[in-house]
Amino acid sequence: AFSADVVPQAPEDPLFGLMAAYRADNDKNKVDLGIGAYRGDDAKPWVLPVVKKAEEILRNDPNINHEYLPIAGLPDFTSASQKVILGADSSAIQEKRITSLQTISGTGAVHLGALFLTKFYNTSSQKYSIYLSAPTWANHNQIMSNVNLPTTTYPYFSANTKGLDFDGMLSALQEAPEKSIILLHACAHNPTGVDPTDEQWKEIAKVMKQRHLFPFFDCAYQGFASGDLNRDAWAIRYFIDQGFELCIAQSYAKNFGLYGERAGCFHFIAAPNDGAETAKRVGSQLAILQRSEISNPPAYGARIASLVLNDPKLFAEWEANLKTMSGRIMDMRHALRSKLEEMETPGSWKHITEQIGMFSFTGLNEKQVAKLKEESHVYMTKNGRISMAGLNTRNIDYFAKAVDKVVR
Ligand code: PLP
């Protein structure tokens, strides 16, 4: 029944394939700039000190057991997550027009939102597409097609300026059919590292309001991008202040270093009038979707995050840990740019310090990327994206010289 024409061999996930190739390489200078996971200056994964503390507290808590969490997840976790993303004084929280479910990290939150929109936003007679930025996190396409939510794209990255194609983006939004769903990266856009400025966000919100477009924010890097949780949530909070009805996928993978624990949240925020009643109804349907897919979410990562989020002292330590990670990445951006400029490597490199977050879109082309791998054992995605966290004081010279060589 499952012959190759029915079940063809699927291609390997490009990113995970790249990781395997890196592991198989025995060169002592090899550099891994592929996967978006934080590494310390020693090139090793970093367990946040505040996470270690929370783990210790959990280990010594006699009340911890392995019972199921509720369908919507750990209540202390979801309510604290609302405050982290919207701000503790948010009108949406006060007016109870938010409903939140703990999800399988950010991916699960994007999926749950997409599934909900397919079932309850789209009808048999009217199907709205979700607009994804060009380019976007590759998994967005797969997640949407998995639930049959039609996708289309809006221009985002300008290859010329290596910055935002703001005019292209705005005109696409202006031309999008009313009520279309627009997926927006809340901060630290993956893969480009290019974010709109506050003024540009205001323009985007204005057009989206005029066109009755529905915002779906994907927030995978809050606090990790700038080191400031509030700064990185600015766009989301601005949209809430403008009275949008919207949803948010929130991930704690990067900002807590809880990648494998799958801690995240999906939030639906109803419009101001009559919002509490809408939020309650939406929440009831989300719970049914959640039950059929995962029954209830995993406990461990949410317990760690919840302990930290609900304790002011631990929270402050978390903020310091965020500054450590974002600060090291910013140092690497400055170091890389100045090394390339010192060597007078052809081209402009100022985008390396202008881009933000885990990634930099270097502008290197596919051929140069292939050459970097063959000649210098440097691993990065074909589109020229590098994970900044893979650079450190020991390999940055080597990497800059390797780039210089392939660009000349
Ligand atoms: N969304 C974006 C834009 C991402 O870059 C990522 C992670 O790379 C995610 C969502 C989800 O990650 P996770 O499921 O590990 O939280």
Compute the distance from residue 208 Cα to the ligand 1 centre, in Å.
24
DSSP 11-74: PPPHHHHHHHHHHH---TT-EE--S-----TTSS----HHHHHHHHHHHT-TT---PPPPTT--
State residue 15's pLDDT score. Answer: 85
Query: What does DSSP assign to residue 189?
Result: -
Percent of the chain with pLDDT over 70: 100
Backbone angles phi, psi at 83, to 5 degrees: -70, -35
State residue 35's pLDDT score. Answer: 83
With contact defined as beta carbons under 8 Å apart, do 108 and 124 qualify? no
The residue contributing the CA closest to ligand 1 atom 16 is 106
State residue 16's pLDDT score. Answer: 84
The residue contributing the CA closest to ligand 1 atom 6 is 220
Q: Is 222 in the pocket of ligand 1 (CB under 6 A)?
A: no
With contact defined as beta carbons under 8 Å apart, do 114 and 105 qualify? no
Q: Is 253 in the pocket of ligand 1 (CB under 6 A)?
A: yes
The residue contributing the CA closest to ligand 1 atom 7 is 220
Q: Is 106 in the pocket of ligand 1 (CB under 6 A)?
A: yes
Active-site residue, 254 included = yes
What distance, in Å, lies between the first and last C-alpha atoms of the chain?
54
Q: Is 105 in the pocket of ligand 1 (CB under 6 A)?
A: yes
With contact defined as beta carbons under 8 Å apart, do 386 and 380 qualify? yes
Active-site residue, 234 included = no
State residue 401's pLDDT score. Answer: 97
123-176 pLDDT, tens digit each:
888 899 999 999 999 999 999 999 999 999 999 999 989 999 999 999 999 999
State residue 404's pLDDT score. Answer: 97
The residue contributing the CA closest to ligand 1 atom 12 is 106
Query: What does DSSP assign to residue 1?
Result: -
Residues in the chain predicted with pLDDT less than 70, given as ranges, are none
Backbone angles phi, psi at 151, to 5 degrees: -115, 150
Catalytic pick from 30, 53, 162, 254? 254
DSSP 311-342: -HHHHHHHHHHHHHHHHHHHHHHHHHHHHHHH
Distance of alpha carbon 340 from alpha carbon 391, whole angstroms? 14
Q: Is 36 in the pocket of ligand 1 (CB under 6 A)?
A: yes
Q: Is 107 in the pocket of ligand 1 (CB under 6 A)?
A: yes
Beta-carbon contacts of residue 176 (< 8 Å; ≥ 6 apart): 131, 154, 182, 211, 213
State residue 151's pLDDT score. Answer: 98
Catalytic pick from 32, 165, 195, 218? 218
Compute the distance from residue 69 Cα to the ligand 1 centre, in Å.
23
Please tell me whether residue 9 adopts helix, strand or coil conformation: coil
State residue 87's pLDDT score. Answer: 98
Distance of alpha carbon 214 from alpha carbon 211, whole angstroms? 9
Q: Indicate the pairing of strand 98-104 with strand 31-32.
A: unpaired
Distance of alpha carbon 201 from alpha carbon 173, whole angstroms? 13
State residue 302's pLDDT score. Answer: 98
Catalytic pick from 30, 46, 137, 232? 137
Which helix H or strand E contains 78, and what residues bound it? helix 75-86
The closest of 293, 271, 244 to 113, measured between CA atoms, is: 293
Q: Is 251 in the pocket of ligand 1 (CB under 6 A)?
A: yes
Query: What does DSSP assign to residue 5?
Result: T
Active-site residue, 13 included = no
State residue 270's pLDDT score. Answer: 97
DSSP 359-407: EEE----HHHHHHHHHHH-EE--TTSEEEGGG--TTTHHHHHHHHHHHH
Beta-carbon contacts of residue 235 (< 8 Å; ≥ 6 apart): 184, 186, 187, 196, 198, 201, 217
The residue contributing the CA closest to ligand 1 atom 2 is 220
State residue 156's pLDDT score. Answer: 98
The residue contributing the CA closest to ligand 1 atom 5 is 190
One-letter amino acid for residue 302 of the chain: A
State residue 11's pLDDT score. Answer: 87
Burial of 325 (0-12, 13-18, 19+ CB in 10 A): buried
Beta-carbon contacts of residue 241 (< 8 Å; ≥ 6 apart): 91
